[in-house]
Chains A and B, each alone.
Chain A
Amino acid sequence: MTPIHFSILLFFIGLYGVVNKNNLIKKIIGLTILNGSTVLFFISIGYFENGIAPIFQKDMLKNPVPVMVNPVPQALMLTAIVIGVSVTALALALIVKIYEEYKNLDIQQLSKE
């Protein structure tokens, strides 16, 4: 199983969590897994077998240039992770407010009120 397949599997696990769970916190956990799976997907696109960290060093030009992993997806995912964290933080803050208001975190019962 390559990391790409695993990330797709994680994507569906996260989707299951968001769709099927009734507890708001569990939904957010699902959303986080969903986000993490896309991060893993991007990182594994840029990964090569035996690739080294993409840091340029002086002696690299003389020897045969070693295989480096692609740094662009890593840079992209840094941004995506930050955004994912802020969405999670916002969601948890909303959950606190919802709990203060309704004393309840079950979406089925919340939607009745």
Chain B
Amino acid sequence: MKNHLPILIIIFPLVIAFLILFLKKYSVQLSLTGIFASLFLLLRLTSEILNGNTIAYHLGGWEGPMGITLVIDGLSFYFSFLVLCAGIYIIFYSLYEEKYSSSYYFFLLLSISSMLGVIFTGDIFNMYIFYELLTISTYLLIAYLKKGKSLKASFNYLIMGGVGLSFFLLGVGFLYALFGFLDIALIAENFLDIYLVHREMLMVSFALMVIGIGIKVALFPLHGWLPDAHSLAPSSVSALLSGITVKIGIYCLIRILYGIFSLEKYFFRRTGQIFLILGSVTLLFGATMALAQIDLKRLLAFSTINQIGIIMIGFGIGTKAGITGALFHILNHAILKISLFFCAGIIIKKTGSRLLQDLKGFGRREPFIVLSFTIASMGMIGIPSVNGFISKFIICSAAIEAGFPLIVVIILIASVITAAYYFKIIVLFFDSSETSVKITKPSGKEMTSLRIIFGYWPVYALTGVSVFLGIFPTFGINLLEPAVKLILSNFVP
């Protein structure tokens, strides 16, 4: 049992997803069971991973270049922990959002299980397969309500995502043509031999893969699908997409940059600067566009682009502090953005409108939700005592250490813009000029009190976690220490 843990962690949600689809009953209980089981199995490995060990599992006992390897190291442990915890919150919140049928939970579990697959796999073609599975289930989740603009958003994402993954696959093809196997660790080991002979081919492969994943991460010129997809999906799905699905793209980027094309050792030493520039542009673009939005969820979607810029800057700096800050910001952004989207979902449900101008006076009706929203947006801006501040501070100090003072200026300017658009909303909440809030009853039946509890407690819990991490950041940083060590050692044993 202990030997088969890596595959069991992926298989549990997958099997339960199909069970839900056929049983059509007890969907919530079953999906929670699946995710908790995976989380329990993952946590059994905690001590081993935090000591810096790596667990490799060969599927079907086939080792070496022929078989598929699942690898759990510090980095994949960190990301899978994030995905599973976020999954639990999202399932609880979905109970509040609407009475979803079993197919919703099926797609949710399918996406979570394929995310775990992307994270654990040590084989780059397998990574593509799981990534496609993940995106197919997210297309369906975005268009889940089957009406209006969400269909267009889903289609738009499908086109962009399809092109992106074709680029990625072509890049994988170039790698396969050069190396003859697809195992990430083996490719990294033999990289230098091929690099001395086929430098240009490797560059083409690198560019194709980065463009492919760049579409998924929504780097600046490739971001077109994100605002629609993230804002028009149901709120629980928006939280899933903004909170963790985008982070999976960043994870793949880390594996490619630091795993295969070992950023520090070879000719990609200057790639870091490309990512600094792309990150800065993404950051400023996201912040400026968010300022111009009048739709609450669309604003939050652009804010995601903004925060991704900061994460990319952290990786672009590439020093120990920069990577620590970026990884920590991934966790913080996931917590904050999931809680913001939950708040937005509750607000939209209560007021019946997505427009900012209709939010006037909402703070008097739901003071605690507005308080949570305020704390989470403080984290996004980077005000001390909330976790977002810590990671931004680490990235800024890393930028100064590495000799990029301009980056700090850009981050600060973007933070000011971020403050402008979040405070615009918070001021509106307490605007008393008109009490124009339409008291719309939630459509259909009266909500049961149990469902309301399920809607509210995830928000409060996430707010609590973000304040806790803001005051005691060492808990988060200890968790990602093995991951940072791994990235800096370039994965090659």
Task: Give which listed residue, B128, B146, B163, B169, contacts A31 with CB less than 8 A.
Answer: B163
- Interface pair A18/B151, CB less than 8 Å apart: no
Cβ–Cβ < 8 Å partners of B177 in chain A: 45
Interface residues of A in 13-37 (CB under 8 A from B): 14-15, 18, 24, 27, 31, 34-35, 37
Cβ–Cβ < 8 Å partners of B128 in chain A: 80
Chain B interface: which of A48-56, A59-67, A84-92? A84-92
- Cβ-based interface call for B132 (8 A): yes
A90 and B136 contact, Cβ closer than 8 Å, known pairs A18-B159, A34-B163, A101-B148: yes
Cβ–Cβ < 8 Å partners of B169 in chain A: 38, 80
- Cβ-based interface call for B139 (8 A): yes
CA distance A80 to B166 in the complex (A): 10
- Interface pair B151/A101, CB less than 8 Å apart: yes
- Interface pair A79/B163, CB less than 8 Å apart: no
- Interface pair B136/A87, CB less than 8 Å apart: yes
Q: Is the interface of A mostly helix, strand, loop or mixed?
A: helix
Report the count of interface residues on A (CB-CB < 8 A). Answer: 30
- Interface pair B158/A87, CB less than 8 Å apart: yes
B398 to chain A, nearest CB (A): 37
Closest to B65 in A: A72
Report the count of interface residues on B (CB-CB < 8 A). Answer: 26
B146 to chain A, nearest CB (A): 6
- Cβ-based interface call for A68 (8 A): no
CA distance A31 to B174 in the complex (A): 20
CA distance A87 to B176 in the complex (A): 24
- Interface pair A38/B170, CB less than 8 Å apart: yes
- Interface pair B159/A31, CB less than 8 Å apart: yes
- Interface pair A79/B129, CB less than 8 Å apart: yes
A98 and B151 contact, Cβ closer than 8 Å, known pairs A38-B166, A87-B136, A90-B140: yes
- Interface pair B155/A42, CB less than 8 Å apart: no
CA distance A91 to B146 in the complex (A): 13
- Interface pair A90/B159, CB less than 8 Å apart: no
Chain A residues engaging chain B, CB cutoff 8 angstroms: 11, 14-15, 18, 24, 27, 31, 34-35, 37-38, 41-42, 45, 73, 76, 79-80, 83, 86-87, 90-91, 94-95, 97-98, 101, 110-111
- Given A41-B173, A83-B132, A86-B136, list of 19 further CB < 8 A pairs? A18-B159, A31-B163, A34-B162, A34-B163, A35-B166, A37-B166, A38-B170, A45-B173, A80-B169, A87-B132, A90-B140, A91-B155, A91-B158, A94-B151, A94-B155, A94-B158, A97-B143, A97-B146, A98-B152
